[in-house]
Homo-oligomer: A and B are copies of this chain.
Amino acid sequence: MSEDVFQSSDNIRSGTPLKHIQYVAFDEPLELELGGRLENVRVAYETYGRLSAAADNAVLICHAISGDSHVASHDADDDPGWWEIVVGPGKPIDTDKYFVICSNTLGGCRGTTGPNCLNPDTGKPFGPDFPDITIADTVKVQCRLIAYLGIEVLLGVIGGSAGGMQVMDWAVRYPGRVRAAIPVATSPRLTSQTMAFDIIGRNAIIHSPDFHGGRYYDQKSGVRGLAVARMIGHITYLSREAMRAKFGDNRNRPRDIDSKFEKDTSVASYLAHQGDKFVERFDANSYITISRAVDRFDFGEGSALTERLRPAQCRWLLISFTSDWLFPPDQSEEIVRALLATEKSVSYCNVQSPCGHDAFLLPNELDMYGALASEFIARTYDSGSTITEVETDGQGRIDHPDTSIFHGRRVDYDSLEGLIISELSGSSPSVLDLGCGDGHMLLRLKRRGWQRLQGVEIDQEQVLSCVRQGIDCIHADLNEGLDQFADKQFDCVLLSRTLQAVYNVDRVVGDMLRVGKRCIVSFPNFAYRPLRRMLAEQGKAPESAGLLRYKWYDTPNIRFFSITDFEDYCREKKSTIHRLVALNTETRKEVFDEPNLNADLAIFVISKA
């Protein structure tokens, strides 16, 4: 291995090298996935923070198609990096705590071996002779770098967009070498729509009069078709809402720019500017090489994807953004589904955002996606040592002082926990908590040493709370079904104080019974004596403390039923009731006498016959 080999063409069209870039070249040839090999591959990389003595605090960041190794500034005099808001001292990926590495991707134009580098066979830039590469090749080069830096196991690998594909490849290619994988705004394979935009971009480059079949390095200006490709890219990175906010009101006030592209509207002048700028800083052959690698990336769908991900041994956190139409959330959900199918540890959040695909680079949703990544890496770092004690009341119970929507929560939890334990045998039963909130019940079970615990929650803030506590949680709406889970996948499924707020009762209960060997359901009993009285005597919609403390017109509760109703329902659906625990949360006691009259909360243990 030799450092600082500068083998680029002088005509490198990629801006000036940054002062903190380091280089390493590897003597051993790189055998490429699609055939062919590259000799003496060089990697440009930057590092931040210090590697711990145990070499257990390294986080690798994988950049997207047009990024580079400069993920953040190194000091106050340095240029800001492309993820400046995420990486740095005290930032979500905290360089005071972690050793952060980012390298320019293989095929890139910012220092790592790519089409603008000299081809040792010809002494000229590779240009169109640069071999076809894949995401796997990129990851293999990164792995050499990691080994070179003396790191056996990465604490985390994180990246957005094409960077997320690298994260996925890392996790399955080097299962023992990644502890936390965080693919952000990514995809197991591009949608056909996204691929189509890439194709058109390349068509524009290839048919540009100044492209000359990729042998353009001796001409002064860049390839104009690259600007068209970038313009297409820019639209796809933004959401319609974001573009509306940017241009809606000033359409006829274009920026006064010097460009040969259309520029008589604000939209046109913006695109012309972005296109021209990109031609200055990026290399057309790199764009073709990398975008084709991204198009080729294909982890499959459905069961193929499941098998592809099976070797992974790490914890997973998937993040998508609601308005991302280039790497749409349903593709992250597909990955989540595939991971769940082989019982991986996985959390997922579809972050609410109007910013489109670009959201992961912008400050708007940083509080959410930054915190998710930060907490997830931190809990992974902590794990193996002690679990960080967060937000508990000091007695091992989690404290919900004013934010609790529940009345008599403790007695319920204690009963629920007791029930779960008495119902489940085996050393570490698996539990799925539907509507898990901040993960309080799963945390109780985790503290008992149970391992296979999974939450599902609709509120993104609650998902973050779970991640913060090291609880695996999937961001999903129960009403849309639980087809991400397999039949009888969990020893126990919980649905605690949620059924009364569910529209699609049949679907939720049906799915729960399919997925769980045992199911535990708790809900407020609408036939509790004071509620009956209120309707019977006052002629008013029942209302009480606790779960039913809302007015009829603004309650989250939309299903009203009693213990008897639920028993009838189970009979009708041919499911077996194993136990009923009826509680009166006012007196904090279990009710044995006429539960449908005297209990305000019911806990059923049921299963499908």
- Which residues of A are interface residues toward B (Cβ below 8 A)? 191-193, 195-197, 199-200, 202-204, 206-209, 224-225, 227-228, 231-232, 234-235, 238, 240, 243-244, 246-248, 251, 260-262, 265, 267-268, 271-272, 275, 295, 298, 301, 325, 328, 503, 505-506, 509, 526-527, 531-533, 535-536, 538-541, 551-554, 558-565, 568-569, 596-597
Contacts and interface: CB of A to CB of B under 8 A. Distances in A.
A246 B192 contact: yes
A255 B265 CA distance: 39
B193 A328 contact: no
B535 A199 contact: no
B540 A564 contact: yes
A565 B536 contact: no
Contacts of A554: 505-506
A232 B553 CA distance: 48
A196 B235 contact: yes
Contact of A193 (B243, B265, B538): B243
**The 5 A-B residue pairs with the shortest CB-CB distance in the complex, in nearest-first order:** A527-B539, A558-B558, A505-B553, A209-B209, A536-B536
Given A243-B192, A527-B539, A532-B536, A561 B552 contact: yes
Copies held by the complex: 2
A252 B225 CA distance: 26
A538 B535 CA distance: 13
Contacts of A238: 193
Contact of A195 (B203, B265, B552): B265
Given A262-B199, A271-B196, A526-B541, A191 B240 contact: yes
A240 B200 contact: no
A192 B270 CA distance: 11
What is the interface of chain A mostly: helix, strand, loop, or mixed? helix
A599 to B, nearest CB: 11
B228 A506 contact: no
A397 to B, nearest CB: 33
B559 A552 contact: yes
A353 to B, nearest CB: 16
Given A193-B243, A244-B192, A328-B240, A540 B553 contact: no
Contact of A267 (B199, B208, B540): B199
A275 B206 CA distance: 15
A380 B208 CA distance: 53
A193 B531 CA distance: 54
Contact of A539 (B192, B503, B562): B562
Given A232-B232, A267-B196, A261 B203 contact: yes
Contacts of A539: 527, 532, 562-564, 596-597
Nearest to A197: B235
Contacts of A251: 192, 195, 298
Contacts of A232: 200, 232
A203 B234 CA distance: 15
Given A196-B243, A199-B231, 9 more contacts: A192-B246, A200-B228, A200-B231, A203-B227, A204-B228, A531-B535, A533-B536, A538-B564, A560-B560
Contacts of A526: 535, 541
A287 to B, nearest CB: 13
13 contacts: A192-B240, A193-B240, A195-B267, A196-B267, A199-B262, A200-B228, A200-B232, A200-B235, A203-B272, A209-B209, A527-B535, A539-B562, A558-B558
Given A228-B207, A554-B506, A560 B541 contact: yes
Nearest to A573: B553
Contacts of A597: 539
Contacts of A275: 203
Nearest to A230: B200
